[in-house]
């Protein structure tokens, strides 16, 4: 099943997109569907990178490394 979508875009952008689609022999609706499908696929399959996990781990380690005995008071609250 497909549904109709109303999209508000600046007039100049729409004109440019239509002209480019016509020039390339594409259909504007097909282009939008393909881009939306690619966006959803990218978002659904995006796994956290190893680098992001490394930075997160480093931040946690640094946070606890900076802890002193004086901070123990806050641990009991």
Residues 30 and 24: their CA atoms lie apart, in Å, by: 12
Output the pLDDT for position 17.
92
3-class SS of residue 76:
coil
In the chain, where the domains are located: 11-66
Mind listing the pLDDT tens digit of every residue in the chain (77 residues)?
A: 888 889 899 999 999 999 999 999 999 999 999 999 998 888 877 666 677 788 888 888 877 776 666 666 656 65
Q: Which two tokens stand for residue 70?
A: 């004086």
């Amino acid at each position: 099943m497909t549904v109709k979508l109303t999209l508000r875009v600046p007039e100049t952008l729409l004109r440019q997109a239509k002209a480019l689609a016509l020039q390339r022999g594409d259909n504007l609706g097909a282009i939008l569907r393909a881009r939306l499908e690619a966006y959803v696929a990218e978002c659904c399959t995006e796994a956290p990178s190893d680098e992001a996990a490394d930075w997160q781990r480093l931040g946690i380690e640094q946070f606890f490394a900076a802890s002193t005995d004086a901070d123990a008071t806050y641990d009991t609250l």
